Structures are given as structure tokens and as C-alpha cells.
Structure 1
Amino acid sequence: MQLFYEPNILDTHTLNPIDSKHCVRVLRHTVGDQISVMDGIGNWFNCEIIEDNPKKCKVSILSKKEDNPRKSALHIAVAPTKNIDRLEWFLEKATEMGIEQITPILCEHSERKIIKPERLEKVIISAMKQSLKAYKPILNQLTPFKAFIAKNSNADNSFIAHCNGGTKDILKSVYPKGENTTIMIGPEGDFSVSEVELALKSNFRAISLGEARLRTETAALMTCATFNITNM
């Protein structure tokens, strides 16, 4: 199935220029053909092409179907990796597996302090289409660690995964089944001691992902997999 993404689709709608070209020039669709369009907030639309202009392909909605969101939502706050390809890989796989929200965070040990959200959004949208997801994950702006903690202070089911010492629970043993969850994953150099202390004072619980030392993007994806398995 070839999907198109239009977040503000109308009864009679013109596809964006990139999708218009792809639909008409690459897929060779013409007037009368039907295509599937999603809006990223749970709605699927069966549409008929009424104008096959490769710059402004126009469609008309024939029918609409709604998907229900997951009963529980996962929000991962992750420090962008030095190699941006690794972060893009995580976003792609997390979108395919199902995730509701991602916040890139800027930490004391962060090696990457600038990201291009437009590029990351393209990765997410592509993965959403490929995996036939009705919901597009929310990608928040790059947020300083302390600002993220302040915004999420005292929230329920908030965790921080780190490799420093101290008492930590194994992730799979404390995942709250059926409830919204927030998990923080640090940079290659891990969270600093002071960052961990601040998180713990703000009602975050320390967790371990096991004995293996994982890359940032691997740790983040592991939390997605554990969340999905726990909430099946």
C-alpha cells in the first residue's frame, strides 16, 4: 500500500508538491485512481484523484476510517548522538514499533548540541508511512536537561536510565502496564552525577537496562521494545 501524509486534509485537497510529483510522475496515478492518505492523528482517508497535475495533484475524500490510539503512551527523552545517523535510526525504528513522543535533550556530557528538526521529521514521516502507522510521533524541540526536568517534575511513571552507582531497578520489573510513561536516556558519556541527583529529587526513578553497556540509540530502542512487550 502506498500512503500519503497530509496533516490538514480537506474534503477536496491538494497534495503537497513532493507527494504530488511522486503520485503522478513516479507512481503514474491518473484521474479516477484511488490512493490512501493519513493525517497523523489517527485518521485514514480513501481518496480519488480528480486532477493529476504533478505539481498540484488534487484529490477528493471518498471515505474515512479512524484508528484508536494506544491505551498508554511512551515518551522518550534522549540525548542526540554525535553521529546523527544513529539518532535517525532510533527515530525510524521507534516510529515503526510505536512511540508517542520524543524529546531530544541537551545534557552536560552531550557531544551534539545542534539538530535539524526538519530532517528528523522527514525520517519519522517516512517510517510512519512504511509501517502503516495512523499516528505520527510528536518530536519536541531540543530541550536543556534542567528545563525538561522542571517541566516533568513530579509526573507519575518517570524514569532515568544511567550507568552511575546507586540503587536501580531493572526496567522490565517496574514498567507500569497500561499507564503513560516517560524515560530519559543520556548521551554517550552518560548523565552526570548532578543530573541524576536532580532527576531523583524530582520524582524520577533510577533504572538499569541490564549489565551490557549499550549505545544511546540502542538503549532508547530497548525501552520501546520493553514498553511494547509489557503492554501487549
Structure 2
Amino acid sequence: MQLFYSASISEDSDQYTFPREESKHIIRVLRKQIGDTVDITNGKGFIFKGEIIDHNPNKCTIQLHSATFKEPIPYRLHIAIAPTKLNDRFEWFLEKATEIGITEITPIVCDHSERKQIKEERFKKIIQSAMKQSLQTHLPVLQPITSFKDFMTSQPKATLSCIAHCEEGIKHPLTKELTAGKDVLILIGPEGDFSPEEIKQAVTLGYKEITLGNSRLRTETAGIVACHSISFLQQ
């Protein structure tokens, strides 16, 4: 199954014309013909089935026939994570987190952050591509990059709000804190970890200090471990 994405399709849509690049891919690469079926998601849970009625490689058009709704993952996971110094590592995190299951991602700039800007549109395309590749129908939300301080003062806590860090002290394994179906918010810091002041602020606001294992993990690896741990609990 080849899944395409368009945020503009709704249950009321009758026809849809693909942008030029996707039209070329459908007609010249996939070699679709008039009458062939195409599947599209709008990232809001629906899969639409349509039949090609115009196989122009510049504006492939389909007649939509059906819409099926798929339930989202049975939990909400929001990870606020510092972008890595190397873009490709953060892009890898976005891709794999989407494949595993995540609902929201917020890039945060921390005291020890080396990267303070992101390519938001590129990151959104990576998430869209990962959603399509893994045949999912709910597009994770990528929030604009924000400072740790602003995030902490504006973001409502989840049922379980945690901060993962490498400082000494009493920390609880994430797997021991999880309960199926909970809304979870996890803070993951940069390569230099959260500063003591940031950890103190989070704890003061009620965040639980957690560990993701015995090894010291890279930022992007920590994000994936958190995603997998929460996803595995739902199986």
C-alpha cells in the first residue's frame, strides 16, 4: 500500500488534484493509470480511497469514493527535546518517533544547547514522510522551537510529566512510572544535559525525575527509548 498525504482533504471532498511533484511520482514512477486506486490520509485519522480520472503527470486528479477513520494511538505522548548539534540526528529522531508512535514534539532551547534554530518546514516534511511510510493516519504535531523557560511557564503538565537527566540523585525508571492510557510529557535535554537550575525548576513545578536506563544516552537515542517504552506498554 502506498499512502499519500494532504491536509486539505475532508469528508466533504469530491475530487483531489495532487501537486506537480506527487503527480509525477504517481504517474511516472509508480506508473499509475486511469482507473487505478490511490490512498490518501489527511493526518487527522482518515484514509480516503480514490480512482484516478486524469493521469496528467503535472496534475494527477482522483475521484474520491470512500473515507475510513482509524483510531489514534491509545495514549498521548508529548516529548519536549533539545535539537541536536547535528541536524541529521534530530531528523532521525523525528522519523523514528513518528514510526513508533508520538503525538506532539516541541524543540526546546536549553542552557547547554548548541543548536538554537531549526529548519521547521524540513522537519515537518520528515514527519509527514514517516507517517506515510509507516501507514499511519494521525500526523504528530511539531511545535515551534521555544526556550526551556518559556515552555515551562506556558505548557500545562500532563497526567505524568517527567524530566530525564544524567545528574546524580534519586531518579525513577520511566518504566516504573508508566500506566497504560496516561497522557505523558517528557523533557529531554541537549548533549550537555539540563543545567542544575533547569532540573530544579522542573522539579519545583512537579515534574518527576526519571532515568531511561543504565547507559548515558545521546539526546536522540533518549527520545527513541522514551517513545518505545511508552509504546511497548500499550501492546
TM-score (norm 1): 0.96
Write out aligned runs for 1:180-195 (5 A): 180-195=183-198
1: CA distance between counterparts of 2:6 and 2:170? 47
Matched residue, 2:213: 210
Matched residue, 2:6: 6
Question: Which aligned segments of 4 or more residues in structure 1 are displaced greater than 3 angstroms?
Answer: none
Q: How many pairs align?
A: 232
2: CA distance between counterparts of 1:115 and 1:169? 31
1:23 aligns with 2:26: yes
The structural deviation recorded for 1:114 is 0.9
The structural deviation recorded for 1:156 is 2.8
* 2:172 counterpart (160, 169, 172): 169
2: CA distance between counterparts of 1:75 and 1:86? 19
2: CA distance between counterparts of 1:90 and 1:172? 20
Judge conservation of contact 1:81–1:87 (CA < 8 Å) in 2: yes
1: CA distance between counterparts of 2:157 and 2:29? 51
2: CA distance between counterparts of 1:11 and 1:101? 30
1: CA distance between counterparts of 2:53 and 2:114? 50
TM-score (norm 2): 0.95
Partner amino acid, structure 1, of 2:222: A
Matched residue, 1:133: 136
Judge conservation of contact 1:155–1:203 (CA < 8 Å) in 2: no
Moved more, 1-10 or 214-223: 1-10
Return 5+ residue gaps in structure 1 as ranges: none
Judge conservation of contact 2:158–2:184 (CA < 8 Å) in 1: no
Judge conservation of contact 1:77–1:103 (CA < 8 Å) in 2: yes
Matched residue, 1:47: 50
The structural deviation recorded for 1:154 is 4.6
Partner amino acid, structure 2, of 1:85: D
2: CA distance between counterparts of 1:223 and 1:164? 18
Q: Percent identity?
A: 48
Judge conservation of contact 2:157–2:185 (CA < 8 Å) in 1: no
The alignment partner of 2:136 has SS state of coil
